Amino acid sequence: MKLYHAPFSPFVRKVMVLLHEAGATGRVTLVPASGNPLDPGTMPVDRNPLGKIPALERPDGPTLYDSRVICRFLDDQLKAGLYPAAPRLWDTLVIEATGDGIADAAVLMRYEMHVRPEPSRSADWAKAQWGKIARALAALEARWMSHLSGPIDMGQIAVGCALGYLDLRHAERDWRGPHPALAGWFAGFSSRPSMQATLPPG
């Protein structure tokens, strides 16, 4: 299998953390890909028409995308157990969606302020994306800490990768101050070998 990969993507990192947790990094070949909404660059548009990564090319079926589809597929193939049985499954999926939503808003902020031409940039639009992030962080702090502190699953991995991306691209914003429980959880979770092995370079 080939995984179209960029080390700074929080969505690619999700897949890589799963592979590390499953002890299966050797099952995929990493194919570098880069681009943005204004220039697809080397994104695998012939395999994912949306021009996004991660994308997982399989020898026996169509290429899979996005990260949630890939993670469900790999979890099934590798018997990783990162999607628990119902009823806990539904909480895991909601938390994974929340983590992915944080990451998505953070990536859009990055594009707005660093990819869009300066005359077209909107500080109000970026502020609105941060509003989504702030609401999601507050929900995790208020509702989901007991789940995050339980057995590892894809919800935790998605949140961990999203918070890591906030530190990488939006370090000037203090997400920890208003969310001490979440900050404490992340301090422990980010020390996992799988998270350390997938830190973006530099």
What pLDDT sits at residue 202?
Answer: 75
Q: What 3-state class would DSSP assign to 177?
A: coil
pTM above 0.75, yes or no: yes
Peptide bond into 167 cis (omega under 30): no
Instruction: Render pLDDT for 173-202 as a digit per residue (tens, 0 to 9).
Output: 999 999 999 999 999 999 999 999 999 997
* 36 lies in some domain: yes
Domain boundaries, position 173: 88-192
Q: What's the total number of domains in the chain?
A: 2
> Is the CB of residue 42 less than 8 Å from the CB of residue 33?
yes
Q: Does residue 169 share a domain with residue 144?
A: yes
State pLDDT tens for residues 86-115: 999 999 999 999 999 999 999 999 999 989
Residue 89: its pLDDT value, please? 98
